[in-house]
Amino acid sequence: MMAAIETPRAEEALVQRALEAQAAYMPDVRADTGPLGAGWTTAEAFFSDEVALGEFLAFEQSLNEGTDLRTAAALLMTDYGYILAAAAVPLFTGFGLVPDLSPASVALSFYTTEEPHDGKMQRTRRAHVRFLEEIFRQGQLDDVADGERFRVEIERHFRPVIEAIHLRARLSRAALWRLAADAIAGRFLDSGRRFGTVEVARASAMRILKVPGSPLANRQLHYFDLTVLDSHQQEFSYAFRQRGGCCRFYQVEGGEYCPTCVLKDPAERDEELRLAMRRHLGLA
């Protein structure tokens, strides 16, 4: 049975270790606890602010020629999904902790940075995350009930976020939920690798993201493995996340499909990914 962590003893030390590990793993989206403070806003306040949301959409449109409002919304959802997943998922995959993800309890400190994309540096929006309620639930990554608790928190956070983006940009709610699920699934896989729980993390993610009736659930999202031979003719395998959603980047000027875009033919996708694996091994 999952228990609330509320006392400043061994449980507090576990939360602190988890937050330190998360910050070391994801320095561009550091998670911590504390009061709101200057320079911070809650997710609830941010996505209720038409000016702030409009500025975020305008920022996404400024990055590439030909970015219409719905594409900007998809890119915003991709960026914000990255932020929320980066803060919350590692705490669960590495330490079995579920934070309070209600939008009023999650604070954000946004900033703009540059990251490599398609061989060039591109501006992007990132944010550090602060959990205002220092109450976590402690459980197990492979426990069905604990995974269900995490799913409920994820949905609780994204529901008003997605509604606000949908109303502003008219990108469908279903499309936005797919992008949110992609972000969560991707971070489960990568943080599972980080904390040595990859197989359990994959299984947990699919249980969480495939619940019938959940807005996160879609048929296309899944994990798959590809194998190539290295220079010693030994098998080298790698796990990938197949996206269930589309960020619409292919619609901007000079844009293209992402490596695991839901719109790609699976055979073409696999061929391109195997080539990338061979390049990683120095074989192509």
What are 48-87's pLDDT values in tens digits? 999 999 999 999 999 999 999 999 999 999 999 999 999 9
Answer whether residue 205 is part of any domain.
Answer: yes
CB contact at 8 A, 94 and 195: yes
Q: Is residue 227 a part of any domain in this protein? A: no
> Tens digit of pLDDT for each residue in 129-180?
999 998 899 999 999 999 999 999 999 999 999 999 999 999 999 999 999 9
- Over pLDDT 90: what percentage of the chain? 92
Mean pLDDT computed over 11-38? 96
Say which amino acid occupies 58.
A
Looking up residue 84, the CATH number of its domain turns out to be: 1.10.510
Binning pLDDT at 50, 70 and 90, where does residue 4 land? Answer: low
The pLDDT value recorded for residue 121 is 85
| Residue 268 maps to a domain | no
Evaluate whether residue 229 is within a structural domain: no
Q: Specify the pLDDT at position 120.
A: 76
Of 120-124, 139-143, 224-228, least confident by mean pLDDT is: 120-124
pLDDT score for 222: 98
**More confident: 119 or 72:** 72
Domain count, the chain: 1
Q: Residues near 157 by Cβ (< 8 Å), separated by ≥ 6?
A: 43, 84, 101, 102, 103, 106
Residue 21 covered by a domain? yes
Confidence of residue 10 (pLDDT cuts 50, 70, 90): confident
Q: With respect to residue 241, please indicate whether it lies within any of the assigned structural domains.
A: no
What does the mean pLDDT of the chain come to? 95
Rounded to whole angstroms, the Cα distance separating 87 from 186 reads: 13
User: Is 261 contained in some domain?
Assistant: no
pLDDT of residue 7 exceeding 50, the answer is no
Of the pLDDT bands very low, low, confident and very high (cuts 50, 70, 90), residue 122 is confident
pLDDT at residue 5, as a whole number: 52
> Mind spelling out the 3-state secondary structure of the chain?
CCEEECCCCHHHHHHHHHHHHHHHHCHHHCEEECCCCCCCEEHHHHHHCHHHHHHHHHHHHHCCCCCCHHHHHHHHHHHHHHHHHHHHHHHHHHHCEEECCCCCCEEEEEEEEEEEECCEEEEEEEEEEEECCCCEEECCCCCHHHHHHHHHHHHHHHHHHHHHHHHHHCCCHHHHHHHHHHHHHHHHHHHHHHHCCHHHHHHHHHHHHCCCCCCCCCCCCEEEEEEEECCCCCEEEEEEEECCCCCCHHHCCCCCCCCCCCCCCHHHHHHHHHHHHHHHCCCC
Provide, rounded to the nearest whole percent, the portion of the chain with pLDDT above 70.
96
If pLDDT is split at 50, 70 and 90, which confidence band does 118 have?
low
Predicted local distance difference test score (pLDDT) of residue 180: 98
Rounded mean pLDDT of 10-22?
94
Domain membership of residue 68 (yes or no) is yes
Residue 75 half-sphere exposure toward CB, CA atoms < 13 A: 24
What is the residue range of 163's domain? 3-219
